[in-house]
Amino acid sequence: MMVEAHIVVRGSVQGVGYRMHAQHHARLMSVNGYVRNLANGDVEILAQGEADAVERFISWAGRGPPSGHVEETVVQRREPTATFGGFEIR
């Protein structure tokens, strides 16, 4: 079953390779969508895919890469709003 999660990651997550790592892990897990930096220092992710893959990705997002430090993740699960053909860095 296809699901979608909107994730906001807070902490030391910009300038540490978070987006590149997110793209790598999303592709490994067959998750589509995007990741982008927000002006306030947070990272926004839209993750779409099979429910178990998205849940694994959410778990990874809460840890992030070793070079960063995630303080909080805010996750909203919802019905897919669009279709993505891959996972991109914006």
Q: Which residues contact 8 (CB under 8 A, 6 or more apart)?
A: 38, 42, 43, 44, 45, 73, 74
**CATH fold of 2-81, please?**
Alpha-Beta Plaits (3.30.70)
Given the residues 10, 19, 40, 56, the one annotated as active site: 19
**Per-residue pLDDT tens over the stretch 58-69:** 999 999 999 999
Report in angstroms the alpha-carbon separations of 53 from 4, 13, 37: 11, 22, 23
Given the residues 10, 32, 36, 37, the one annotated as active site: 37
Does residue 40 contact residue 10 with C-beta atoms inside 8 Å?
A: no
From first to last of its 90 residues, the chain has per-residue pLDDT tens of 889 999 999 999 999 999 999 999 999 999 999 999 999 999 999 999 999 999 999 999 999 999 999 999 999 999 888 889 999 999
Catalytic: 40? no
pTM across the whole model: 0.95
Catalytic: 37? yes
